[in-house]
Structure 1
């Protein structure tokens, strides 16, 4: 029973992310086709179309592409933040022993690709792209594991999910520290004070989605105007959402039984409406349900499909349209560098540190995970699509040439890493 309670949410998560990965792939292909078709100009001009409002004292008027990258992606980061908080409090990362296996893998998958990047880079103008090969795309990588079916154990999917979340957390810190500029300390200070107020309200036991959304929009705007990338507001807002339940399962069940019995005893109207007593019981049911649900779990559940099936595919559709014509001005060295970092940097970094830690008994690897599977998953970690493109857009914001080169390097590296990882796992002995 306990095993089912723990594994069912993970299985559902994997299923959603796997389906999202397929949709992500279709969105990427469609973007590439449109960008290299007679509709290329219309495709590009769509994302350059400005939306917003301007007054004498305030301006918020941005291209559609930035509304997606700065606005919708903040919701993506909110979900990432909820997942990180849940995993650290009650999930696969809630103890030192549990966190050591994916944490060390994630550290290897962050540090080694960055070292590869610095060693291979010989252009000072592209040095700031070092953060691109850090993160793993959960949706794409889990989609491939889904295709493999029963050939891979659930524990391997949990490992991939856990270290990908740690990777994302590392990428978030890198964005905050290295890819934010011209910081307005007063605006940032106001945003942080509002966050503290939100944390305090949550700590005192009061939580409201309305307050979260209202203050969240203000905090997001303050981050945007302060020079800190506004998607980071999503992560910080997530930490204010409580995970606790106000009532226990037995208490909820007792009240549910009482409400059900009262509804059964009540007179039944022949008209398609409820009687006053029934309305009262339904209201009570709603109140007890709100108390029983964890706000964090409830919000995560509501956001997951929106992020998986709309926000991430839309992000891919908006950002993957690279023109692949022969006359395109590209930085070949950057393409090769990123490709090598994703394929070799990730695979060597993750598998090497895991094998060393396993040898010196620093971690316990689940018995159903073989060394070959660890190597296979370490290659899948080289699928760095969503976060890699996001960081590339920040690192080379003023250089379309380097952005396009980085995107091509990410696409090529991710495809090669996916193929190698899939074949290793597919033909496991």
Structure 2
């Protein structure tokens, strides 16, 4: 059998020509190529699952500890601790907060800041830049906000608690991803992207509702000062140096102004994040970083070191740098502390009995569990029926049903809004019980749905049938679009076996002539081939100028020279418009095109390159010229 680059773990002493073992995961290569920051990416079963389970597990542990603490023999210490005061004085200004307010008003501002960075990035560079890809999760998110609110109001209309409808509108992203990693399908790539995009829209709505609905009284002067501070934040990007310190000082001042204005101060984090610039690195900035690094290497000293560090840092947007820096603190510190401070519900007989007979509690449970599922799944099903939006391979209605059920896990923002919308501590307790119960029920419902859906999937083994039919308007096709025979290859520009297969493909095409159409699709194996994703995106950028085949041929002929500079030099040698080529390299459309092929491959559980399909059926065994010709002839005869 002809070898191929295959999934798994390679021994350190295994030659690359014999076996290239990878993780099937679409990520950015660790090279300084002009590119945008890493966006939502797909993962295989062995991909980010563990990384997503850890924050969810820590959040769950903090929740359990809070509940145990609130119900322990020393339970009185729980409220005593979180109601203890912290006082900060600066001149004539005196700021006094309880420990819980310090968490909810100050630390959670950092959480909302990270959420704002994600929202800003997705609208600028991510999934929300593509209308056909975004329409389904956006509409589903809107329905997943409106329907739970309506369900909640059906239970609470006419009561004092009706104003707490914001409790049921939001999904906890950390718990959602952790639950998906535990209970979801083995290859959840497109479903994960769907849920993440949905969560971004969900967060935007939640933040807007907090700002517009749960602000009691406005003080105009501090509010004007807050907006002036935000304007200063927007102008900070033009400073040549020292922007980090200026951002930090302005962030504190804006937070204090929002606090004094009556608007919840956590929104300061959102406002600042939306004004932090996000951009794909420009070629000149990357080249400058490389040059400064070379200078430092030639003459190591502190001055050149600072210049090199500064140039590398400035080549990446402040949005990407801040998101990478603060996300670990949010995942592993802020959210667990928030859960510890707010999830400590008293689970005695009185509280449980009140919750069981409470219209508020039932409104929360039904809003999150039934409302979220009905809104998200119902909207997706209607769009699917109307053929609106893009349902890629692997994103089935059954899997969306499981994801919609998991979306009923409303924790962080639900608990947060309870503190804003409900004043009575006893009623807050009922609401917290309901949120915890709803989250457990949503997880159970999602797990059951996924188990049923995956068991009912077709008996055909994964990867035996082509997931996405060939589309001449989308695919890279050589030969007549209506040719009777089709050969599809999933390949990697850095894979030596794909390079060798090009000669075989040429001979097969010569044999069949106009009777064959050959289709290339991307499957960049980035762990063992660090330049594969960059090469695939460069080929797609060349395709924008009608030179896909020429550029692809150059990549295969120069597999040992696929560095960022080499990819740019290749485009220049082919006479491409370099300004347009570089702009396309940084575009979301090019990245999403490669990502789509990788997601298709993931949905079929493909792990090696090259992988061939004869017509719509996967080809197993050697892929020499004679074997492929026989396989194609057999497919012709079978179709008669």
- TM-score by structure 1 length? 0.91
1:14 and 1:157 in contact (8 A); partners too: no
What is the CA–CA distance in structure 1 between the aligned matches of 2:79 and 2:42, rounded to whole Å?
Answer: 38
Which moved further from structure 2: 378-387 or 156-165?
156-165
| Secondary structure in 1 matching 2:88 | strand
5+ residue gaps, structure 2: 1-23, 29-37, 457-640
Structure-to-structure mapping, 1:152-171, within 5 angstroms: 152-171=187-206
Question: Which of 400, 408, 413 pairs up with 2:433?
Answer: 408
Residue number in structure 1 paired with 2:377 = 351
Residue number in structure 1 paired with 2:181 = 146
Structure-to-structure mapping, 1:3-402, within 5 angstroms: 3-5=26-28, 16-53=51-88, 57-148=92-183, 151-202=186-237, 208-244=243-279, 247-248=282-283, 251-252=287-288, 254-255=290-291, 258-259=294-295, 261-263=297-299, 277-328=300-351, 330-331=354-355, 332-396=358-422, 398-402=423-427
Which moved further from structure 2: 30-39 or 95-104?
95-104
Size of the alignment, in residue pairs?
Answer: 415
1:207 and 1:242 in contact (8 A); partners too: no
What is the CA–CA distance in structure 1 between the aligned matches of 2:209 and 2:369, rounded to whole Å?
Answer: 21
What is the CA–CA distance in structure 1 between the aligned matches of 2:178 and 2:155, rounded to whole Å?
Answer: 31
Rg bigger for which structure? 2
2:153 and 2:162 in contact (8 A); partners too: yes
Deviation of residue 410 (structure 1)?
A: 0.5
* Change in 2 beyond 3 A, CA 1:222/1:299: same
1:74 and 1:234 in contact (8 A); partners too: yes
- State the Cα RMSD in Å: 2.4
* Change in 2 beyond 3 A, CA 1:93/1:35: same
5+ residue gaps, structure 1: 264-276
Which moved further from structure 2: 47-56 or 94-103?
47-56
What is the CA–CA distance in structure 1 between the aligned matches of 2:241 and 2:202, rounded to whole Å?
Answer: 32
What is the CA–CA distance in structure 2 between the aligned matches of 1:14 and 1:103, rounded to whole Å?
Answer: 24
| Secondary structure in 2 matching 1:414 | helix
2:140 and 2:377 in contact (8 A); partners too: yes
Deviation of residue 375 (structure 1)?
A: 0.5
1:180 and 1:227 in contact (8 A); partners too: yes
Deviation of residue 327 (structure 1)?
A: 2.8
Greater length-normalized contact order (CA 8 Å, ≥ 6 residues apart): 1
* Change in 2 beyond 3 A, CA 1:60/1:376: same
- TM-score by structure 2 length? 0.62
* Change in 2 beyond 3 A, CA 1:355/1:190: same
Which moved further from structure 2: 50-59 or 129-138?
50-59
Higher helix proportion: 1
What is the CA–CA distance in structure 2 between the aligned matches of 1:148 and 1:155, rounded to whole Å?
Answer: 15
Which moved further from structure 2: 241-250 or 180-189?
241-250
What is the CA–CA distance in structure 2 between the aligned matches of 1:97 and 1:327, rounded to whole Å?
Answer: 51
2:184 and 2:450 in contact (8 A); partners too: no
